[in-house]
Structure 1
C-alpha cells in the first residue's frame, strides 16, 4: 500500500508540473481496451520505448496473458535478459542518473493514465495521446526537444525514431482585439520510420495499453456491472409483482 501511495504521489507531482504550464487542448484518444491486437502492440511499444526510463512497478509481466499473450510469447518478445515472467515491470535506470539527466526521477507509469485526468480537458488517456503527438525540435532545450502539451518538458521524445522530426506551424488570430499565435498544424522536417497515420495509430495502441494497465480488470468490472444491472431490473419487476400479489386482498 505504501508503494502504491508513493506511485500516485509521483504521478500527481508529474501532473502538477504540467498544470503550471499553458498546454494546448487535449485530443481524444478513444482507447481500445477491448482490442487484443492493439493492446499487444501497445505492450510491445511500452516495453521497448518506455521501460528504458520509467517503471510500471505494480504490473507483472505475467498479467499480459490477460491480453492474449502466452507465457512463451512474453518470454521471447517482452522480457529483458535478467527478467522473469513473474517480475514487475521495473526500469534499470539509476534514479540518481535520471535526476541528473532529466531534472527529476521519471515517475512510475502504472496508473499514469488514471492520475492524469483533468475535468476541464479530458481523460488521462487523452493527455498521453496528445503529449506523444506534440513533440517538436527545440535547440534551446538541453534535450533538444519541447512539447506543446507539456511546455518545457524534461523528457526527450521517446518515439522520435518512429515519428521523425516536426516543427509547429502557427497562425495569427485576434482574441479580444489582441493578436495571438496559435498552433495551426505541423510541418514534417525529417521523416520517421512510420507515416503520420501509422504513428498516430501506434500512439493510440500505446495509450490503450497504458489505460488498460492502470486497471487490468476494468473490462471485467464493466461486464459484471452490466449483468448486475440487468439482474436488478428483472428483480425489481418480480418484487413489484410479488408486492402487488401479497397486498391485493388487503383493503
Structure 2
C-alpha cells in the first residue's frame, strides 16, 4: 500500500512538472505552408545568411534545395558562401571551441529544431516563430539581449538590424488579489531596416524553411500517401464486388 501511495505521489508530481513546463509566454501561430516554394527559398536564403555562421544543419545537403525549386547553379551562385560544394552538408563556419568560449556552449544543430521545439500549446514552428520575434534589449545580459519565450537565452539577436531594438512594456494588473506586471506590448527604441510586417514575413519564411528542413520528403510522403489510400479504397471496392459475385450462388 505504501509503495502504491509513493508511486501515485511521484506520478502526480511528474504530471505537475510537465504542466508547469508548458507555461510561459503565449505562442503565435507560425505561417507554415510547405507548398510555397517562394517562401521556402526566401527562408533558405535567410538561414544561410544569418543562421549558418553559428548553427549547422549537418543532416541537410545543399543540393536537396532543388526540391523547393532551386537549380544547382542558383544554389552555387546564391547560397554557397565560401568553398562548399553543392553536395556538401550545411556545416557552420564557427569553430566549436571558440563557440564554447563565446557562448558557453556549442550552438545546437538546427536540422530538426522545428520538430523538437514544441510546447506551451503550440508546435515547434510556433515556438520558433514567436522566439525570433520577441528579443529585446537587456544590458544586464552578456549578449545585451534577452527573450520573452526563452528568458536569459545565451543567443544574441542576430536579426536585430532587420527588426531594430525594442523594449517590452508592462502594465500593472490585479490577479488573485495581488498586483502583478503583465506584458502589454513593445516600445521601439531604434528602427530596423524592415517594417514590423516585413520582419514578421522574414521570420515566417525562415520558420517555414526550418519546418521543411526537418523532413524534406514530407510533401512526397503526403502525396504518395493520398494515392495509396485511393488505391486501397478502390481495391476494397473491387474485392467486395468479387466476394459478392463468388458467393452469390452459395446457399
For residue 206 of structure 1, report the CA deviation from its aligned partner: 0.2
Q: Secondary structure at the match of 1:104?
A: coil
For residue 20 of structure 1, report the CA deviation from its aligned partner: 6.5
Is the contact between residue 57 and residue 91 of structure 2 (CA under 8 Å) also seen in structure 1?
Answer: yes
Structure-2 residue corresponding to 1:226: 226
Q: Distance in 1 between matches of 2:99 and 2:202?
A: 26
Structure-2 residue corresponding to 1:195: 195
Structure-1 residue corresponding to 2:10: none
Structure-2 residue corresponding to 1:48: 49
For residue 247 of structure 1, report the CA deviation from its aligned partner: 1.6
For residue 62 of structure 1, report the CA deviation from its aligned partner: 0.8
Q: Distance in 2 between matches of 1:36 and 1:150?
A: 30
Change over 3 Å in CA distance of 1:160–1:242 after alignment to 2: same
For residue 121 of structure 1, report the CA deviation from its aligned partner: 2.0
Is the contact between residue 169 and residue 185 of structure 2 (CA under 8 Å) also seen in structure 1?
Answer: yes
Structure-1 residue corresponding to 2:109: 108
Structure 1 portions without partners, runs of 5+: 1-18
Deviating above 3 A after TM superposition, structure 1's stretches of 4 or more consecutive aligned residues are 19-23
Q: Secondary structure at the match of 2:211?
A: helix
Q: Secondary structure at the match of 2:167?
A: strand
Stretch of structure 1 that moved more, 120-129 or 140-149: 120-129
Structure-2 residue corresponding to 1:249: 249
Cα distance per residue 1:71-103 (max 9 Å; x no partner) = 111111110221111111001111111111111
Whether 2:151 is the aligned partner of 1:151: answer yes
Kindly report which structure 2 residues correspond to 1:82-101, keeping only aligned pairs within 5 A, or say none: 82-101=83-102
Stretch of structure 1 that moved more, 120-129 or 44-53: 120-129
Q: Secondary structure at the match of 1:189?
A: strand
Cα distance per residue 1:100-122 (max 9 Å; x no partner) = 1111110000010111123x421
Is the contact between residue 116 and residue 127 of structure 1 (CA under 8 Å) also seen in structure 2?
Answer: yes
Is the contact between residue 22 and residue 121 of structure 2 (CA under 8 Å) also seen in structure 1?
Answer: no
For residue 174 of structure 1, report the CA deviation from its aligned partner: 2.7
Q: Secondary structure at the match of 1:212?
A: helix
TM-score of the aligned structures, taking structure 1 as reference length: 0.88
Cα distance per residue 1:27-51 (max 9 Å; x no partner) = 1103121111100100000000000
For residue 171 of structure 1, report the CA deviation from its aligned partner: 2.6
Structure-2 residue corresponding to 1:163: 163
Is the contact between residue 60 and residue 85 of structure 1 (CA under 8 Å) also seen in structure 2?
Answer: yes
Stretch of structure 1 that moved more, 62-71 or 227-236: 227-236
Structure 2 portions without partners, runs of 5+: 1-19
Structure-2 residue corresponding to 1:125: 125
Q: Distance in 1 between matches of 2:61 and 2:138?
A: 36
Is the contact between residue 32 and residue 205 of structure 1 (CA under 8 Å) also seen in structure 2?
Answer: no
Whether 2:28 is the aligned partner of 1:27: answer yes
Q: Distance in 2 between matches of 1:199 and 1:75?
A: 26
Aligned CA-pair RMSD: 1.5
Q: Secondary structure at the match of 1:82?
A: coil
